[in-house]
Structures are given as C-alpha cells and as structure tokens.
Chain A
Amino acid sequence: MSTPLLETRMLNVRFGGVHATRDVNFSLQENELRCVIGPNGAGKSTFFKLLTGQTKPTSGQILFRGKDISNMQPHQPGQLGIGIKTQVPSLFNGLSVWENVWLSARRTNPKAKADLITRDTLERVGMLSHKDNLAGLLAHGLRQWVEIAVVIAADPALILLDEPAAGMSDAEVARTAELILEINRQHALVVVEHDMSFIRMIAKKVTVLHQGAIVREDTPDRVMADPLVQQIYLGKKAH
C-alpha cells in the first residue's frame, strides 16, 4: 500500500490526570472519506486539535504524507494542506462572506485567481448570493457552509470537518451530505459527527473513539450493529 496521506502512531495526550488520547494508530489514504464517532468526551475534538497543531502530543507521532508534523506551530498545518472546520463556526464575523473565503484563497494565489476561486467556491456551496453579507449576521446553517467554503477555497489535501451538520434542519443536513460527497471527489476528509443518519449518508468507513482510544473501525452498518459500540456510544447494554 502507498504511503498514507495521514497516519498517527501511538499518539497520546494527557492533560494533567486526563488521558484524552490513548495509543491512537489512525491511517487515512489519499481521497478517503472517514467518519469519526464517539460519545462526548471521547477525544474527537482533541484528535482534531492534535492534527492541526493546536495541541501538542505527549507522545507518539503524526505523519502527513510520511512527514512528521507532531510539533507544528498552529499556522503550519494550513500551509501543508490541512484545512479544518471547527465545531463552533469560526469565521471573521466583521468581514463579508466574500472576504472570508477570499482570505483563504489568497494565501497562495495571486489576486485575480483568488477572486476566481472565491466566486467558484461560493457558487459550489450555494452561498454566492450572500457574498456581501457580514459573516457574523448569517444564520447558523449558512455559517457552516461559509466555513466549509473557507476550508475548500485553500484547496487542502486533507479536510477535517468537526460536526458539519450540527444544528441544521433535515433539508440542510441532506444538502451538507451531498456537498461532502462532492468535495470528496477531490479531497480526503475526516468528518466528526454525532448524527447517525448523516453518517449513513456519507460514510464508507467509520472509526469509533471511546475514552481517547480507537475501539472499532469498520463500515457504518457493521459498526452500528456492534454490541460494544451500542453499549458505549448509544448507552445500551450489550446482550
């Protein structure tokens, strides 16, 4: 098998007495789409923070295309081609939707090309008609899409989406699922989500985190039928 796009080896994080990430060995191929699930406090957001240089591992390694990126500064993952949509939409509230996306496209592109990418990306996520609105005044679902646009405008090799469908209506969830599958044609994705119906719409392979460790990795159907997963994730006793 070729070098994975992303790989973690025996990754561990401890915050004082809390063991937030335990011996995580995670591997993702180019253009793969992976869903990560787990109850609150399972370590999903910490895992994303490790991958984006916001938290440093206590031990273990993170490899991106074979290169060790375990001790990056917070601005370096973006330069390497890792884009993230955080759990709570994190936009420039005082800037317009256009400027939010443009700043992402402009980092590596000349002005004219950045303008073009911004227009295309906003069209792709269906937000072009909102381009002059202030990001801070948008409804929650629209903010999620703007943030997805911000991430893809930088054309990263790997996109991390932390709860992209949270707080969305059913119609918006379906549209977001479509969007993610469309993005997956060009980019690898790791998606953290709670909504099982949403995961069924998009996932081929699901990784289950529990108490900071990977406990299962399989297709959505098999993962959801798994007694251990049902016990830890859905709070049911296994029989």
Chain B
Amino acid sequence: MTAFASSWRSAALTLAIGVVLLLALPGLVDDFTLIQLTIYAVMAILGVSLGFIWGFGGILCFGQAAFFGLGAYTYAIAVINIGDSTIPFLLAIVVPALFAALLGYVIFYGRLSDVYMGVITLTVTLILFNLVNSTAGPEWKIGSAPLGGFNGIPGIPTLNVPGDPDAVLSQQSLFTVSMVCLLLVYAGLRWLIASKLGRVIIAAKENEQRVLLLGYDARVYKLICFSLGGAIAGLAGCLFANWGAFTSPTIFGLAMSAQIIIWVIVGGLGTLVGPVVGCVVIQWLSTQIGTQQTFNSNLVLGAILVVFVLLVPRGIVPSLGDVIAAAWRRRRAPAAKQAIPAPLAPTETAG
C-alpha cells in the first residue's frame, strides 16, 4: 500500500467524493437511475464488509451472503411484527453480528485452518439457503410474519423516520440513507484500521505467531473483525430488503457469495475503496451485458474475472493508484531537476 493510500488525506478525499455524489446525484438523474444507484450503494456496503475481513483480517469468508441474508430476513420478520422500523433496523445489524460471533468462536477458538474456514462458511450459507427455502407452508411463520419458503417475503415495510411509523422513507431518501450508511461504514473502518485494534488485526494477518508472542490473544481480534464484517453485511441486507421491499432465499445462494468475492478481487484486495469500485463496475457490466442476447452474461463475467486474475491481480484500485503515483513522480521529477544542480538531481528524485 502506498503512503497516500493509508493517509488521512486519502480518507478525506474519498469521503468528499462520496458526499458530493450523495448530494448531487438525486438532482442529476431520473428516478429509475436513482433506484439503480441505490442498489449499487447497498451492495457496495456488502462488498466493503468482505473487503475488510479478507483484506485486513486475512479471513476469506465464502459465506458473507449468510450474514447479508440474515440481515434481510431479520429486518423483514421484525418490521412486519413490530411496525416501527427502528428496532428491526438495529436487529438486522445485531443478529448477523451475533451469528458471526458464534461461528467465529467455533472457527477461531477451535483453531481451525483457513481451508476449514472456507468450507464452514460456505456450508453454513447453503444450510441457511435450504432451511429458508423449505419454509413455504403457512405453518412456517414467526409472529405474524410468514417465512414464505422459496417464494420469499414480499411487501416488506420500508424504513420510517425513527419513532414515527407513518413517516415512511421515499425512494430518494432511501438512496440518501444507503449512501450515508456506506460513507459511515467507510469512515468507521478507516478509523478502526488506524487504531490499536485495527493494527493488531492487520498484524495477526501478517504473522499470527508474532502477535501471540507479543501477548495479544489473536483469536479475540479475529473474532471482533469477523463479527464486525457480519454486522456490516447485515446492515447491507437490511437496506437490500428495503430497496425491493422483498427478500427470498436466493440471497443465501452460491452465486451471491461468489459475486462478493469477485467484487473484492476486481476492485482490489487490501483497500476499502476497491470493493466499492469492483461492486459498482461488475454490477453495471452485468446490467449492460444483460441488455444484449449475443453472449451469455455469466460467460462474459467469468472471462472478465479470468482477465483480472491473470493481468490485474491486485485489482483496479491498487493498480490505478500505482499508475497515478508514477505519473505524479514523473511530473515532479523535471521540476526537481531544474531546482537542483544536475549531479544531485538523481538522488533527490529517487527519494
């Protein structure tokens, strides 16, 4: 990572761009596009959740969709029962976080290897898929909320102003809420990464044995990281349920989990902006490819992934960062040469 990428200036720049988009986009685009942009923002939160635990905690979770789906279902069931969306919104974050904590406890305290991490998270996702999928009958309900099995839960009430169930958010407000959530998640994680907790999480990814020898219980730090990832994915799931007023078991599916991993790989592992960029680019491409019939869209997306893994293995954001940094140095080099006597110039520009 370049010094700029980890500096507060890059965080401020990213947030500034985010705020400009947040304020300008609703006035610039039509309603249909705004709905599209809302889902980009929601999925970007999901992408960041995996980008954080994988890129910074070294935890490759094949089942990030499990927490996403759990967030969506928790919100749907709670809001149908409660009416006011305030508590359901919070539950949609807390329940997936607790589920991640439980799963993480088994994995990290059982000292299971990375391979088992992948197998377990993937299996849990598929179990949830099958479980929810088989709840179609009218006898499957929690309170007054029918689970709906493979039909999913339709007509999920949209978020309202906290404490006022009648003040339901408009489509435009939902975009604002989603963008604000994305920006808050980004800012919060940037702050966390710079803190002691974040430094230890990164250190445990780098060299777990050294972390232990320093006296840090690596399991605790991994567990916190994994649970946070679950909480953030749950938040995305809640917003997803709001976006379409609908949730179904397909969000627990294999395709969903694989997609999140692809966003992170394409956007750039080890950054927080990368998963956002990867998510938006891939989703936009999926939509564009979907409008034509010549090529199968999955085939095209698969080809794109292969190209990235082979030619841009670090992803869009880190590679672009390198190009910009190199151009920046080139621009400054001639200036330095003019200012300094020729023999000294090379050492000056090297630093």
Interface residues in chain A, defined as those with a beta carbon under 8 Å from any beta carbon in chain B: 52, 54, 73-79, 83-84, 86, 90-95, 99, 102-104, 106-107, 111, 150, 154
Contacts and interface: CB of A to CB of B under 8 A. Distances in A.
Interface stretch (B114-122, B145-153, B200-208): B200-208
13 contacts: A75-B211, A78-B212, A78-B216, A84-B213, A91-B207, A91-B210, A92-B202, A93-B207, A102-B199, A103-B199, A103-B200, A107-B214, A150-B210
Given A90-B207, A94-B206, A95-B203, A107 B217 contact: no
B218 A75 contact: yes
Contact of A106 (B196, B202, B212, B218): B196
A95 B216 contact: no
A141 to B, nearest CB: 19
* 5 A-B pairs with the lowest CB-CB distances in the bound complex, closest first: A78-B215, A92-B206, A74-B212, A79-B215, A75-B217
Contacts of B202: 92, 94-95
A17 B99 CA distance: 43
B213 A74 contact: yes
A222 B196 CA distance: 49
Interface SS majority for chain B: helix
A207 to B, nearest CB: 22
A92 B216 CA distance: 14
B209 interface: yes
B206 A78 contact: no
Nearest to B208: A74
A165 B215 CA distance: 25
Contacts of B211: 75, 103
Given A95-B202, A99-B199, A111-B196, A90 B209 contact: yes
Nearest to B204: A92
Contacts of A77: 213, 215
B218 to A, nearest CB: 7
A52 B212 CA distance: 10
Contacts of A54: 209
B106 to A, nearest CB: 17
Given A90-B209, A106-B196, A154 B214 contact: yes
A132 to B, nearest CB: 9
A91 B213 CA distance: 11
A78 B207 contact: no
A154 B215 CA distance: 9
A104 B202 CA distance: 14
B203 A73 contact: no
Contacts of B196: 106, 111
